[in-house]
Structure 1
Amino acid sequence: MTDQLTKAAVSPETRRRRAEYPVIRTVPTRWADHDTYGHVNNAVHYVLMDSAINGWLLDASQVDIRKLPAMGVVVETSCRYFKEVHFPQEVHIGIALERSGNTSVRYDVALFTDDETPVAVARFVHVYVDRHTRRPVPIPPEIHQALHQLRATRNVS
């Protein structure tokens, strides 16, 4: 197990830096986020990512995404954890565009606390579906425009 942790500690993901993420959303942790192990529960990381991405989409698209005819549903997530997060730390969530297609968007997400190295890195995938039929549809133009902002400002070194 120690060898696995050592490999994770030197993986390419741990070498990522805040500057590689064109969008940073800051969210506070709450007392209730702690689990019996004394750190913010891993499931909370997903809530923070979901809130950060959708909050950014609301701001960047300048529309209420809840009223668009298509909605982004989460179809895939993954997360690699490197450090614990504790209350009352703030979490700075970096959002970058990994890829977008006709109906789906794959976000590259990193969580930071006190320094430039991530405490966790994640993948978060939305597929856009019709609000009524729940069948895949093209990404709405308002979302495409917001994604263009991510594409145009990504600073990968």
Structure 2
Amino acid sequence: MPESNLKALRRTDFEYTLPYRTRWSDNDQYSHINNSIYYHLFDSIVNTYLIESCGQEPQKSPSIGLVVSSWCEFFAPLSFPDILDLCLCVKRLGRSSVTYEIGVFKQGSDSPAAVGGYTHVFVDSQSRQSTAMSPAVRSGLEALLVTVTGKL
């Protein structure tokens, strides 16, 4: 379970930021971003980073990351047409697994509207057997590794 200090996180607690312009379809009937959309946002920032900074090519890389656990804690509503900053760090880095933490901030705010994350286990893209992450992936993820913030 996430710790209560997640709400105290700030942008500076994260190593990588990706802007996101909300869409009308992100809103639910209550006129705020639907909870399920946050997991799309998490997937977007993690995979953008893996592609841009770790050399991952989803259809060609010999190994891929599969999500084995995920979580999210909400602090403030967001809605279209908000512009967001998705902020990413790595909390744990193992031989074949990585745990990410993601802060979702309304652009211009230093307090998170939500904080969540998930754990990837890298597997062979054909056999789906656990495998060590490649040196390029490990190096890229090490650049995001932090030791003090939020959940872990």
TM-score (normalizing by structure 2): 0.89
Question: Partner of 1:74 in structure 2?
Answer: 67
| Kept in 2: contact 1:57–1:65 (CA 8 A) | no
Question: Partner of 2:37 in structure 1?
Answer: 44
Extract structure 1 runs of 4+ deviating beyond 4 A.
154-157
Query: Which one scores higher on RCO, CA 8 angstroms, separation ≥ 6?
Result: 2
Q: For 2:17, what is the secondary structure of its paired residue? A: strand
CA radius of gyration, larger in: 1
Q: 1:119 aligns with which of 105, 113, 120?
A: 113
Q: 2:49 aligns with which of 51, 56, 60?
A: 56
User: Does residue 1:97 correspond to 2:73, yes or no?
Assistant: no
Question: Partner of 2:126 in structure 1?
Answer: 132
Q: For 2:12, what is the secondary structure of its paired residue? A: helix
| Kept in 2: contact 1:97–1:150 (CA 8 A) | yes
Q: Distance in 2 between matches of 1:65 and 1:23?
A: 20
1:57 shift after superposition: 1.1
1:64 shift after superposition: 2.4
Deviations 1:53-73 (A, max 9, x none): 100111112452441110001
Q: For 2:73, what is the secondary structure of its paired residue? A: strand
| Kept in 2: contact 1:97–1:107 (CA 8 A) | yes
Which residue identity lines up with residue 143 of structure 1 in the other structure?
A: V
Question: Partner of 1:86 in structure 2?
Answer: 79
In structure 2, the CA distance between the partners of 1:42 and 1:49, relative to structure 1 (3 Å rule), is same
TM-score (normalizing by structure 1): 0.87
| Kept in 1: contact 2:91–2:147 (CA 8 A) | no
Q: Distance in 1 between matches of 2:118 and 2:14?
A: 14
Which residue identity lines up with residue 133 of structure 2 in the other structure?
A: I
Deviations 1:103-152 (A, max 9, x none): 1100111110040010001121111011111111111222101112113x
Could you say which structure has the higher helix fraction?
A: 1
User: Percent same amino acid among aligned pairs?
Assistant: 31
User: Which ranges in structure 2 are unaligned for 5 or more consecutive residues?
Assistant: none
Number of residue pairs aligned between Structure 1 and Structure 2: 147
Question: Partner of 1:144 in structure 2?
Answer: 138
Which residue identity lines up with residue 7 of structure 2 in the other structure?
A: T
What do you get for the CA RMSD once the two structures are aligned? 2.0
